[in-house]
Amino acid sequence: MTTTTPALAAPSAGDRFETTTLERRDLRPDDVLIDIAWAGICHSDIHTVRGEWGATTYPLTPGHEIAGTVAAVGSAVEGLAVGDRVGVGCMVDSCGECAQCRDGHENFCERKTVWTYGDEDVDGTTTQGGYSQQVVVTQRFVLRIPDGIGLDVAAPLLCAGITVYTPLKRWGAGPGAKVAVVGMGGLGHMAVKIASALGAEVTVLSQGLSKEQDGRRFGASDYRATSDAGTFEDLRSTFDLVLSTVSADLDLAAYLSIVKPFGAFVTVGLPPNPQQLPFFALMGGDKVLAGSNIGGIALTQEMLDFCAEHGIAAEVERIGADQVDEAYDRVVKSDVRYRFVIDTSTIGA
Ligand code: NAP
Ligand code: ZN
């Protein structure tokens, strides 16, 4: 029997969220039914709901920062039991057999990564995400949330946390490395915390200085305003890694100018428009321009364990289901400290 669960759905790009119900599939042998406690609001939810990345299929229930507890398990599930604290991130299935999946890069499955919402699932249905009270996910994509982290502050780790952990590890953020984090929103504040915990020297580049105290509390040793033209001159050729979490258009040449020779500018931010790249900015200093897309399941578990070990979690604003539309507008205005999480018990209440 399928499970009917209350959910929030966007009826179209411009309309307010509505309360609805979703049918979650009957448990297959390797499935887990999760009671969702908290769902984070990622800027990707907003880009998608507002049709900024191309066509979206409506009605859509977004949400890929899911934290809750196991409500039931299929007959073949091992190592997870009712009541366990679990999370689900941006993906819910992949082939599990190709070279990428075998190497732990389910996010780049050669056949198809199934994204948590708005994507075609293996059975042909459209996936619907975490702004709901229950979800069914195959066990391979269910993460364990360590006991030390509250479910509300853990939810954002499932996307924001892993998205910044992956490039910080890959590009050598650690003792002796100078890292700049551009944009201190949901992803950015996690990048500051994780890069500092990895031992890097962290500078935040924000539009203004209003969040400086917070940035320093999260572990940054320097905090600069990008609205101040002198910032780029001062910081010329300074950083081994510049990690951009910016959701809007960016002056790439300016940001490449603060990368050291042989260093890297890596973007996880996904502005809707194509960006201009003057190649000269890359050549002087043999610089690397790269992107990074979330991270595999094993690395996501490593990140959760790392955060628990280092006492790191997201800073959140807890909201009810009726505040989601207003929260979207506030995220777009960079007015969130630093991630909204939805108390899913308020959906349909
Ligand atoms: P967010 O909370 O809105 O943070 C984005 C930050 O960018 C803002 O806090 C702001 O930082 C800065 N910013 C916003 N508008 C700006 C502008 N016009 N000019 C300069 N800076 C601006 O969003 P998020 O949830 O962290 O997501 C950030 C981006 O990453 C989004 O594009 C999202 O879709 C993308 N994303 C990518 C992945 C991936 O796997 N690659 C995963 C998740 C999200 P300040 O206030 O400090 O200036
Ligand atoms: Zn996300």
Q: Can you give the pLDDT of all 349 residues of the chain as single tens digits?
A: 789 999 999 999 989 999 999 999 999 999 999 999 999 999 999 999 999 998 899 999 999 999 999 999 999 999 999 999 999 999 999 999 999 999 999 999 999 999 999 999 999 999 999 999 999 999 999 999 999 999 999 999 999 999 999 999 999 999 999 999 999 999 999 999 999 999 999 999 999 999 999 999 999 999 999 999 899 999 999 999 999 999 999 999 999 999 999 999 999 999 989 999 989 999 999 999 999 999 999 999 999 999 999 999 999 999 999 999 999 999 999 999 999 999 999 998 7
Contact call for residues 41 and 89 (beta carbons, < 8 A)? no
d(CA 341, CA 140): 24
What is the residue with the minimal CA distance to atom 27 of ligand 1? Answer: 43
Question: Which residue pairs from 304-307 have beta carbons closer than 8 angstroms and sit at least 24 positions apart in sequence?
Answer: 304/87, 304/143, 304/144, 304/145, 304/146, 304/149, 304/154, 304/157, 304/161, 305/146, 306/165, 306/194, 306/197, 307/146, 307/149, 307/157, 307/161, 307/194
Q: Give which of 321, 327, 318 is closest to 6, Cα–Cα.
A: 321
pTM of the model: 0.98
> Residue 86: CA atoms inside 13 Å, Cβ hemisphere, count?
29
Please report which ligand is nearest the Cα atom of 66: 2
DSSP 79-135: S--TT-EEEE-SEEE--S-SHHHHTT-GGG-SS--EESSSSB-TTSPBP--SSBSEE
The rounded distance, in Å, linking the Cα atoms of 213 and 199 is: 20
Nearest residue (by CA) to ligand 1, atom 44, is: 44
Could you list which residues have their CB under 5 Å from ion ligand 2?
A: 42, 44, 159
Which uninterrupted H or E stretch holds 161? helix 160-170
Q: Do you find a cis peptide bond into 58, omega within 30 degrees of 0?
A: no
Enumerate helices (H) and strands (E) in the chain, giving the number of each.
Answer: 11, 17
Q: Give residue ranges with CB within 6 A of ligand 1.
A: 42-44, 47, 159-160, 163, 183-188, 206-207, 245-248, 268-270, 292-294, 331, 334, 336
Q: Say which DSSP state 140 is in.
A: G
Closest ligand to the CA of 270: 1
- The C-alpha atoms of residue 199 and residue 123 are separated, in whole angstroms, by 44
Q: Which of 46, 166, 247, 293 is the pocket-test mutation for ligand 1 (most atoms within 8 Å of CB)?
A: 247
Mutate which of 245, 328, 338 to test ligand 1's pocket (most atoms within 8 Å of Cβ)?
245
- Alpha-carbon radius of gyration of the chain: 20
Q: Ligand 1, atom 38: nearest CA belongs to which residue?
A: 268
Cα(100) to ligand 1 centroid in Å equals: 28
The rounded distance, in Å, linking the Cα atoms of 55 and 68 is 30
Place of tokens 């940035």: 215
DSSP reduced 3-state for 344: helix
Which atom belonging to ligand 1 lies closest to the Cα atom of 331? Answer: 3
Give 178's strand partners. Answer: 201
Is residue 179 helix, strand or coil?
A: strand
Whole-number Å distance, alpha carbon 84 to ligand 1 midpoint, is: 32
Pocket test for ligand 1, best of 157, 165, 187 (most atoms within 8 A of CB): 187
Handedness of CA 108, 295, 269, 282 (dihedral sign): negative
